[in-house]
Chain A
Amino acid sequence: MPSDRAISILASLFELDTLMGVSKQRRQALLRALVDLVSEEDDDMAQELLAIAALHPDPDVRAATLEIPRSRPGHDSNQRIVSWAVQDPDESVAAGAARIAADRRMGETTSDLLSVTGRCPDTVRYGSDIPATVCDHIQTSALRLLIDTPAGREALLNLPTPLAADPNAIVNNEGMVHVLEGTLDPAVGAEHLPGWFPNEFLENTSPWEVEEFWIDIEPVTNAEYDEFVEAIESTGHIFCHPDEPADKLHRRTFVNDERFSQGDPVVGIDWYDAYGYASWKGKSLPTEDEWERAARGDSGLIFPWGNESSSDNVRGAEATFARAYSDRKEWEDHMASVDFQAIDQLTLPAKALPDNVSPFGALGMSGNAWEWTSTRFLDRMEIEPHFGTLYPVETIGDWSAYLSIKGGSWSSIADLLSPAFRVKRHIFSRSPEVSFRCVRRT
């Protein structure tokens, strides 16, 4: 059971969050009580209070945690406190932490300091950077001391190198196919479309040159995506889009739905989820042009395998529901009555339909699940997400929140299954019918 003292301090920390109406004396008394408690007690509650204080919105509270390493040199939490504080964006906190790290020769703080100063050992040694503030001086001076410690020397040797910056990095295009540069003319072959849906947009779309790139042979699977979700639990959201909502959960919908097997294309993910995965893999989401070119080949086939539709090659509505539809209305009426829970199987592994292959070798670009692109639907420009501070419902009327998705899904019919077709999807939308694959640009 937490002590009354701990509970009182916890309540006070929340009170301080408002920054209003707390006198200086009371604030100081609260912080002293916090420091005393954490210094003297080592239970879970004390550690929890320490974490709350170290990440508190009020920089005075965060700075107060530095009293613990100052007054208790051997305290178990000192390294953790200093490592947090040395990376604090507020200089009143960061400078104090750097000074403590230097005074106590806390070599394990070297990595944290380097992450703040830019990870450039030469700058540290030769002082080639220009310090703008006193904090800069303190940090540089601390680094110069710390890199002479054993832990500091090791930190210098183990500086992380981004893939793009490492000339020795081996770019792994395993599982991808190469799409050469060429022309995409969306209007080519439009006469072969079944014609169940209006396709006037194709007439007025101009040809476009697409540069070469690599594209995943198959859509990302549930298994692969789940690895990403697990990984970010330890790395945090460092690969995710900076605009994604602060509390974004990336776990896919349907993770407990056994109908979606591990080898199936991942669904139940929104655009930010897809972006995060692609970034984590060192890849990107394809533009609509890239996706379509990869699916249609140089000659602009209306389906990946040719210009004739084929229900044998594709996981569309006819395959999913084992029936044919005579016209669009019949299909629409049926879809409106479908009980999602009663469908035995929805998606399939891409390999299950080997003839559903594009001229460039990409599998499954027709049917099964639609695929996200990075192209804004209305004007075919790259999406510029700026919605992270809004609730999704507030963005429904914003045309710039809609992206092109391509390829059709297990509920699609006719023209929708052609890679030439395009429909839109809201950036926050999660669907059992939308997946994605990645590209890497050379």
Chain B
Amino acid sequence: MSMVIPSRAAPSFSFKGEITEDQRRFFEEYGFIAFRKVFGPDEVEIIREEARELTRRTLRGEIASDKRDDLLPPGTDESGNPYLHRLPYFTHFCERSSFAIQRGNLDSIGFGLLGGEAWRLHDTMGGAIWQLKSGGRGSYSSIDWHLDFPEDHPLVPVVSVGIYLDDSAYENGALVVVPSSHRYPPSRLPPTPLALEARAGDVLCHAHNIFHSSGPSPAGTQRATLYLYYCGGPYPGARLPFAGEESKKGIRALFQPAAGRSEVEHA
């Protein structure tokens, strides 16, 4: 379903193969940047198809436990069919998507924004993560305010590069950031948030320590994003878990159910 997206919003940029000085400066200042139409409809459909296939394989038990998501329980769609919210190690399992990412030179976005030595998360700590947000039963509706990685995390600095597979508007729970919060401590007043709206095929990037959240999604809507993580810290080694068990508890608490539910339900 195509959502109505207002045309006046935060500045957006075009990606032409490499990050420009102006784009990097914008990202440095505000902690986020949006690129329009990085992927065309065909490439978006490739990623969607592979996500559906990986979901099926995971539900059939074909994916090893250390490569499956254990953060959020499966949801149930309106027909009673289970679905998954997170598919880690996406580029590890999905060759065509991986190729589309390479063909689009997406790595130069992450590396360009980070500057200096950097690498992409692929075979460790969850790798690239496909994530689905839905307002339906058994799903989470919004994500509370948070920073992706604390400053003492071994991977930082990190740039999250999100490939949008569905239109995302304020009405269906778009990403909301506090621009420049990665550089300035909060003042005495509540910060002013900015919703970042996107169309399928756009790429939205944000710094690991920008304050962000996503708003509630109405029932019956879904939006999926494929997140690539570009890291400036040292490579920690292969096949490490996404997070420790204690950390996972805190992360789970960020995923908030739709109104009227006390927790994200197990299907």
A interface residues (Cβ-Cβ under 8 A, vs B): 198, 200-201, 203-206, 208, 378-381, 384, 386-387, 389-390, 394-400
Contacts and interface: CB of A to CB of B under 8 A. Distances in A.
Nearest to A203: B14
B188 to A, nearest CB: 7
A399 B20 contact: no
A379 B6 CA distance: 11
Interface stretch (B122-130, B189-197, B219-227, B251-259): B189-197
13 contacts: A198-B21, A204-B12, A205-B11, A208-B8, A378-B11, A380-B9, A381-B8, A394-B187, A397-B183, A398-B187, A398-B191, A399-B30, A399-B178
Contacts of B7: 206, 208
- Indicate the member of A204, A387, A394, A395 with the most B CB atoms within 10 Å: A204
B210 to A, nearest CB: 11
A411 to B, nearest CB: 21
Contact of A394 (B9, B20, B188): B188
A396 B13 CA distance: 25
B152 interface: no
Given A204-B13, A380-B8, 10 more contacts: A200-B22, A201-B11, A204-B11, A204-B12, A378-B11, A389-B188, A394-B188, A398-B191, A399-B178, A399-B192
Interface string B1-25: 0000001111111100000111100
A203 B11 CA distance: 10
A198 B14 CA distance: 13
Among B23, B180, B181, chain A packs the most CB atoms within 10 A around the CB of: B180
Contacts of A201: 11
A204 B23 CA distance: 13
B192 A204 contact: no
A328 to B, nearest CB: 12
For the complex of A and B, the 10 pairs showing the least CB-CB separation, nearest first, are: A397-B184, A198-B22, A206-B7, A399-B179, A400-B192, A204-B12, A394-B187, A201-B11, A379-B10, A380-B8
B36 interface: yes
A77 to B, nearest CB: 41
B181 to A, nearest CB: 8
B187 A399 contact: no
Contacts of B20: 198, 200
Contacts of A198: 20-22
A397 B13 contact: no
Given A200-B20, A397-B180, A390 B13 contact: no
A208 B183 CA distance: 33
B189 A378 contact: no
Contacts of B178: 399
Contacts of B188: 389-390, 394
A204 B36 contact: yes
B184 A379 contact: no
B18 to A, nearest CB: 13
B10 A200 contact: no
Contacts of A381: 8
A406 B85 CA distance: 46
A389 B190 CA distance: 13
B30 A200 contact: no
Given A198-B20, A200-B20, A400-B192, A206 B184 contact: no
A153 to B, nearest CB: 49
Contacts of A390: 187-189
A378 B10 contact: yes
Contacts of A378: 10-11, 30, 179, 194
Interface in B171-229: 178-181, 183-185, 187-189, 191-192, 194
Interface in B101-138: none
A399 B180 contact: yes
A395 B192 CA distance: 12
Nearest to B12: A204
A379 B9 contact: yes
B187 A397 contact: yes
A9 B183 CA distance: 51
Contacts of B21: 198
A399 B11 contact: no
A406 to B, nearest CB: 16
A399 B194 contact: yes
Contacts of B22: 198, 200
Contacts of A384: 192
Nearest to B35: A204
A398 B194 CA distance: 12
Interface in B132-190: 178-181, 183-185, 187-189
A396 B8 contact: no
Contacts of B23: 200
B9 to A, nearest CB: 6
Given A198-B21, A397-B187, A204 B14 contact: yes
B187 A206 contact: no
A395 B9 CA distance: 22
A425 to B, nearest CB: 15
Nearest to B34: A204
A396 B11 contact: no
Contacts of B12: 204
Contact of A200 (B8, B14, B185, B189): B14
A10 B9 CA distance: 56
B14 A386 contact: no
Nearest to B188: A390
Nearest to B187: A394
Contacts of A387: 189
A226 B10 CA distance: 37
